[in-house]
Chains A and B, each alone.
Chain A
Amino acid sequence: MLTRREFVLGSGALAVAVSVPLRSDAAVEAGVGERFVTAYLEIAADGRVTLHSPTTEMGQGTHTGHAVIIADELGVDLERVGVVTAEPADPFRRNGQMGSGGSWGVRYWYQPLRKASAQAREVLIAAAAAQWSVPAAECVLEHGEVVHAKSQRRAGIGSLAAAAAALPLPAEPALRPKSELRYTGRKVPRVDLAPKVRGEPVFASDVERPGMVYACAVLSPVFGGELERFERDSVDPVPGVLDVVAVPGGAAVVATHTWAAMRGAEALKIRFKPTAHEALDSAAISRQMRAALDPEVAAIEARRDGDWAAVAKAAKRVVSADYEVPYLSHAPMEPWNCIVEIGGDGVVHIWAPVQTQDRNRTAAAAAAGVPPEKVRLHTTLLGGGFGRRLGSDGIAAAVVTARAVNKPVKFFWRREEEFGQGWYRPAQVARMEAALDAEGRVTGLRVRTAGPALSASFSPQGLPAGQLDGSSVQTIRESRYKPSAFLVEWARVDQPVPMAPWRSVGATQNGYFLESFVDEVARAANRDPYELRRELLSHDPRALKVIETAAKAADWGQPLPAGRARGMAFVESYGSLCAEVAEVSLRDGKPVVHRVVCALDCGSIVLADGVRSQVEGGIVQGLSATMEEAVRIAQGRAADRNFDTYPLLRITQSPERIETIIIESGETMGGVGEPPLPPIAPAVVNALVALTGKPIRDLPLSKHRFA
C-alpha cells in the first residue's frame, strides 16, 4: 500500500506536469497538485489515468462506475484507468462531508465526473491543436490519444500534459453524445476484482508498515461502558506482549504479532465502570416499544393526507396488525482494524476501511491532538461496509494506542467486538391500520412506528426532542400509495444501544411493515395482493410498470406445484423503485426460496452487470436478515458475539434463481446499492403467509415454527 506521494514518486514517469485548475487540498498537501488535470484526474506521462474517486469501494462497484464515466467522457480505454479513494477535500464532498452512503456513489457523482473528464479532454485537445496549429474543433480524443485526422497527426494524452498545464479549464465543456459512450450501460469487468481474486493485499488488515506492532482491543461489552482499571501484570505471562494501553471504551493489548495480542487480550484482567443499563434486555426493549404503540402515547406526525378519523369512521371495516423487528448487525466480513503511523514530522498516517473520510479524519485528529490537515487518511478497499463503517467509533482508540507506544500500530477488533460494540440497525415496532370500504377498496391507512431514533444515536449533533427521525418512517412517509387518508406517526423510545444506518436503513423494517400489511389487507378483503397494489398505484404509471414487470416475469397468477406459493412486495428507496416476487416452499419446516424476480427502475444505469450484482447481493443479504438475523440484548450487552449464534445466510439457503429486470425509465438516476434489499423480506413473508395462512408479524423467520 502506497501513500499518494510514494505512488507518484514510484511512478517515475510523472515528470510531465499537467495544469491544476481544480486541484484538491489533499493534492496540494501531498505536493503532487501539478499532476492533476482536475481534482479528480491524474494523468501520467505514459497516458495512464488515475481517478481519485470521492467514494469508498466496499464491493458496491462505484470505483468501476466512476472509471467507466471518465473513460467514456475523456476518451481513454477502460484498462488504462486506475482508481483510488481520494483524501478529504472539497471536490470530493457532498453536503460538506466526504463519505459513501445513501446509494449516492454513481447517481450523485455522474455529472461532476463527466464534467471534469470533459474539461480535461478539452484542454488536452486544445494543447494538441496549438502544437499542430490546427483548429481544436477538428481534433478528437479517442483511445487516449488526441487525433487530427486531416493531417494524420496523433499524440498520447501523457505527452500533451505539459502543454495542457498552461490552459484554463472551460467552465461548461460539451459532453459527448450518448453514441460516443463505449462503456456506459454495458457489461464491463470490475476494476478491483483481479487483485481480489489473486489474494493480493488490498485491505487495511493486509497493510504492513516497518516496525509495526499489533494492538488487540478489549472493550466494554456493556454498551457505552468505560474503563475502570486493568491489571497490567496479568498479561506478563503471554510471550510477545509489549504493553497495555488505556483507550476510549477499554484497553488495547499491544504485542509483536496478532496472535500474541489476542492471547494477551484474553489474559488481561480488566474492569469497566458500571452503567445505568446493566440489566437491559431484548424483552424490556420490546415491551417499551410496544407500549408506545398506544395512541395515548405522544407521537410525532410524519404524514397527514386527508382525515383518517373520518375515513375510519365511515369504513366498512378497519384492519389492524402490529409488527416488530429486532436489532441487526452489519457483520462485514472484515472486522474493524486500521493502521496508524505517526511520522517524525507529526503527520498522522492512517490506513483504514472507512465510509466517511471527513468524520474519521476529524475524530483521528482530535485523538491525536493535531489539526485535521495533519492527518493523512488512506482509505483502503473495504471488506464490507453496509453502513457499519459510516461511523468513527473505532479510530480514536487506534490513534491513542499509536501515540502511547510511539510505533506504527495495527489496531484491531476481534469478531466479538465487531458484533458487541453495537451500531446496529434499530429494533422497531409498528401498528398498521387500514380502512376498507364495502367494495374492499383501501380508503385510508394509518401507521404508527415506535422505536429508538437512529439519528439521535448516529448523528454527531443528535436529535432534539420533538423532532422526527426520518428513517423511522422511511418509505412509508414517502409511499406512492394514495388512499384518501394516510396518517403516519412515530413515537420515540430511546435505548442505550448504539445504532448506525444498515444497508437500506429505515426502508428495511418499514418496507416489511407496509408491504406485509398490504397483503394482510388483501386477504382480509379477499382480494389478490397484486391487484390491490395495482389499485393503490393506479394514479402512478411509473410504479405500475415496475410491479407489472415483476408480476409478469414471475408468472403471477399462473399455477405452481403443490406446496409452493408466491409473494410480492414493492418498495421505493434511494430514488429507485423496486418490486420483487419470491417463490417459496417449506422443507423440513424451514422456508426454501426457489426463485426471486426483481424489477428495478433506477432511471438509467452506468454498469449493467454492476446493477445485477447489487440486486443479487441485496436480495441475499435481505433474505439473510429475514430468515435468521437478530442481535439479542441481555445484561446491557449483545448476547450474540460471533457467527455461531448470529448466523448469516449460507449458500445452501440462497435463492435457487434470481432474475433481474432493469427498467431504464429515463427518470432521474436512482441508487442501486440499497433499493433491491427492502422488498425481499415482505415478498418472502407474503409467500409464506399465502402458503400457510398464518400471519407473520415479527422477524426473523427462525423464531417461527412452520408445519
Chain B
Amino acid sequence: MQITLKVNGQARSIDADPDMPLLWALRDFLGLKGAKYGCGIAACGACTVQVNGRAMRSCVVPLKSVANAEIRSIEGLGGQHPVQQAWLEDQVPQCGYCQTGQIMQAVALLEQNPNPTREEIRAGMEGVLCRCGTYPRIEAAVRRAADAMTARKGS
C-alpha cells in the first residue's frame, strides 16, 4: 500500500505494509539509519523519534497511525542542534548505539520543558536505556543544552 510520510519536513511516499512499524520505514525504505532497533517492544528507546513533537518509540508505531503526522528523526536536527552540541561538549557517547534515541528524547523533553530540574531531566530520560552507562553525562548534557537554548532565546 502506498503511504506518504512527512519526515524532517519532506513528504516521502513508500509502498509498505500499513502495520509495519515506523522504524523500518525510516531505516529500510527511506535510508535514514539514525533511529536504531534495540528491542522491538518499546522497552529500550533506541528507536526514539519525534511524532508531532512527542518522543515516540518508532519500533511499535505502525505506519498507518502516522500518515499525516510530522515525523522528525535525528537526521532532521541538522547536526548543530544545541542538544547535539552539548552531547559533544560533554563527550557523552561511548558505543553510541542508543545515543540518537537519547538525543531525540532530550530534544522532545526540552521543547516541552525548557528549564527542567534535575529530577525532571532524569524522569524525562528514563525511557531510554544505555548499556555503556553514560547516564551521568546524559544528565549533564541535557542541563547544558537547556542552558544554551534558554540563553539563545533570551538574547
Contact = CB atoms under 8 A, between A and B. Distances in A.
Contacts, number: 172
A59 B95 contact: yes
A150 interface: no
A617 B94 contact: yes
A271 interface: no
Interface in B120-147: 122-123, 125-139
> DSSP class of A's interface residues: helix, strand, loop or mixed?
loop
A108 interface: no
Nearest to A382: B95
B79 interface: yes
B44 A651 contact: no
Given A616-B136, A651-B125, A384 B21 contact: no
A83 to B, nearest CB: 15
A257 B26 CA distance: 12
B129 A619 contact: no
B69 interface: no
A393 interface: no
B136 A383 contact: no
Contacts of A617: 94, 132-134
Interface in B85-118: 87-88, 91-100, 103
B133 A643 contact: no
Contacts of A420: none
A613 B91 contact: yes
Contacts of A193: 87-88, 91-93, 96
Contacts of A203: 33, 36, 97
A111 to B, nearest CB: 25
A202 B74 CA distance: 14
A616 B103 contact: no
A56 to B, nearest CB: 11
Contact of B123 (A190, A382, A620, A652): A652
A29 interface: no
B53 interface: no
B133 A197 contact: no
Given A616-B137, A620-B133, A651-B122, A259 B95 contact: no
Number of chain A interface residues as a range? 35 or more
Contact of B33 (A201, A651, A654): A201
A386 B38 contact: no
Nearest to A658: B136
A658 B103 CA distance: 22
B136 A199 contact: no
Contact of A335 (B38, B87, B103, B130): B38
A185 interface: no
Interface in A232-257: 239, 257
Contact of A59 (B75, B94, B100, B125): B94
A46 interface: no
Given A333-B130, A644-B43, A652 B97 contact: no
A21 interface: no
Nearest to B75: A199
B39 A59 contact: no
Contacts of B84: 197-198
A197 B134 CA distance: 13
Given A197-B103, A259-B21, A332 B135 contact: no
A200 B100 CA distance: 9
A613 B138 CA distance: 12
B131 A61 contact: no
A371 interface: no
Contacts of A331: 131
Given A59-B94, A60-B94, A205 B36 contact: yes
B27 interface: yes
B133 A415 contact: no
Given A386-B131, A650-B129, A333 B38 contact: yes
A382 B94 CA distance: 10
A132 to B, nearest CB: 41
A331 B142 CA distance: 25
Contacts of A383: 36, 95-97
A197 B28 contact: no
A262 B40 CA distance: 10
A411 to B, nearest CB: 14
Interface string A627-658: 00000000000000011100011111011001
Contact of A384 (B17, B132, B138): B132
Contact of B136 (A194, A208, A654): A654
B28 A415 contact: no
A196 B17 contact: no
Interface in A167-199: 189-190, 192-194, 196-199
Interface string B33-77: 111111111011010000000000000000000000000011101
A58 interface: yes
A59 B137 contact: no
A43 to B, nearest CB: 27
B41 to A, nearest CB: 6
A259 B24 CA distance: 7
B39 A206 contact: no
A652 B133 contact: no
Given A59-B94, A613-B91, A620-B133, A334 B41 contact: no
Contacts of A333: 36, 38, 44, 46, 95, 97-98, 129-131
A643 B27 contact: no
Contacts of B41: 415, 642-644
Contact of B133 (A190, A335, A624): A624
Given A199-B103, A621-B133, A655-B136, 15 more contacts: A190-B93, A192-B96, A193-B91, A196-B96, A259-B20, A333-B46, A617-B94, A617-B134, A621-B131, A644-B43, A648-B129, A650-B126, A651-B122, A652-B123, A658-B136
Interface of B: 17, 20-21, 24, 27-29, 31, 33-41, 43-44, 46, 73-75, 77, 79, 84, 87-88, 91-100, 103, 122-123, 125-139
12 contacts: A197-B88, A199-B34, A205-B36, A333-B97, A333-B98, A384-B132, A648-B129, A649-B133, A649-B135, A650-B126, A651-B125, A654-B135
Across the A-B interface, give the 6 residue pairs with the lowest CB-CB distance, nearest first. A620-B133, A199-B34, A383-B97, A59-B94, A59-B95, A196-B96
